[in-house]
Amino acid sequence: AQSVTQLGSHVSVSEGALVLLRCNYSSSVPPYLFWYVQYPNQGLQLLLKYTTGATLVKGINGFEAEFKKSETSFHLTKPSAHMSDAAEYFCAVSFTGGGNKLTFGTGTQLKVEL
């Protein structure tokens, strides 16, 4: 069975500071990994995904994530936070077969302060 753990249900950073949102997964087969963002009163939007190939993945809005198999991690980073980054972020895992069902973490609420 696969699972996702997001450390920190709430993260607060200052505008211009580094954003680091943590995600660890467990999967018995090679995973596909995703980060989604949810702005208030909206649906989920894909930020980035890792399937195969390069382990450093760049997404929209300046975010990136690195797949580290040895650490079973897929942490999301952004060098400089902007007020518009305030949202809830979800890490998710799936794998080939099994209907490609997504298993989500419990989410991290990012707050950006002046």
Give the interface with other proteins as residue ranges (CB under 8 A): 9, 32, 34, 36, 42-46, 49, 51-52, 90, 92, 96-97, 99-107
Instruction: Show the tokens assigned to 31.
Output: 């995973």
How far is 34 from 8, CA to CA, in rounded Å? 18
Q: CB 37 → other proteins: shortest distance, Å?
A: 11
Instruction: Show the tokens assigned to 28.
Output: 């018995």
Residues in the chain: 114
| Closer to other proteins by Cβ: residue 61 or 106 | 106
Q: CB 24 → other proteins: shortest distance, Å?
A: 14
Query: In whole angstroms, how large is the CA radius of gyration of the chain?
Result: 14
Q: CB 15 → other proteins: shortest distance, Å?
A: 26
User: What is the number of other CB atoms lying within 10 angstroms of the CB of residue 37?
Assistant: 21
